[in-house]
Amino acid sequence: MQMQAVAMAPVDFQAWVDEQMQPAAQPTDAAVERGLAVFEGQCTRCHVVNGVNGVNDDQPSKGADLVANAAPDLTHLMSRTTFAGGIFDLYEPDGSLNRTQLEAWLRNAPAEKPAYAEGRRGMPAMGLSEGQIDDVVAYLKTLGARPDMEVIAATEVHP
């Protein structure tokens, strides 16, 4: 797993902390609702999204039973600059979503980053259709605010 640290002014750091404490936004359109339904049925066995798995929410949406809780918390995925253990950029240099890589990951994660053989850790291929991938991406795009361009520019991922 690759990691980077970003130095911030205390006021900016506190704003980031406050944003990270908020639950996920609720779906606002049909594609996002479909993406949430796929996420609940396929992804919540391993991933947490506050407000979806019953974490920090009095009336959670109920998806698949959480059985692992070892996969990344995706509540604020879009506030990050990388995904898949920090090996892929989440954003293009112009600040747009790196949709091609994110879709490739959702289509067949083991082809993009092999799972750890012992213990079978890693994201499996979920067998999603192209329509489901589009809907999941629509949902994931609602999970947090994009970082400032300075933060995106400072990210150094070398696949």
| pLDDT one-digit tens code per residue, 61-110 | 454 444 556 788 898 999 999 999 888 999 999 999 999 999 999 999 99
Q: What is the pLDDT of residues 87-100, one digit of tens each?
A: 899 999 999 999 99
67 Cβ contact partners less than 8 Å away, ≥ 6 residues apart: 45, 46
The mean pLDDT of the chain is 83
In this prediction, residue 92 carries a pLDDT of 94
Q: What is the rounded distance in angstroms from the CA atom of residue 62 to the CA atom of residue 55?
A: 11
For residues 105-128, average pLDDT: 84
| Domains by residue range for the chain, with CATH | 29-154 (2.60.40.420)
The model carries a pTM of 0.82
Residues 159, 47: contact at Cβ < 8 Å? no
Between helices 30-38 and 130-140, what is the axis angle to 10°?
100
Could you tell me which residue, 120 or 80, shows the higher pLDDT?
A: 80
21-25, 66-70, 109-113, 127-131: range with lowest mean pLDDT: 66-70
Q: How far is CA 8 from CA 3, 17, 154, in A?
A: 16, 12, 12
Q: What is the rounded distance in angstroms from the CA atom of residue 70 to the CA atom of residue 19?
A: 22
